[in-house]
Amino acid sequence: MARSINIIYFAWVRERLGIDQEQVSLGDEIETIADVLSMLGEREAAYADILADVEKLRFALDQDYGLSTSLIGSAKELAIFPPVTGG
């Protein structure tokens, strides 16, 4: 059975991609957030450019913070956003 995940983009990530979210099918080889980023980067150069530096990004799986090495597991949602700064 094919897995899929809803990816939600926030702030400048959303602005640069020109979309706020998308549903993506995941192959069996996709296990971590980094795998998802790599898969997206292979689709288009814009994704590759925006998602290349994971130090400039934060992630959440089903609204729980994660790292690029976090396992996707059965998560239904992946949020990608820049670090939040306070003032």
Average pLDDT over residues 14-36: 96
Q: Which domains can be identified in the chain, with CATH numbers?
A: 3-81 (3.10.20.30)
Indicate yes or no: pTM above 0.85: yes
pLDDT of residue 31: 97
Residue 87 has pLDDT above 60, yes or no: no
pLDDT digits (tens, 9 = 90+) for 30-78: 999 999 999 999 999 999 999 999 999 999 999 999 999 999 999 999 9
**Secondary structure of the chain in HEC code, one letter for each residue:** CCEEEEEEECHHHHHHHCCCEEEEEECCCCCEHHHHHHHHHHHCHHHHHHHCCHHHCEEEECCEEECCCCECCCCCEEEEECCCCCC
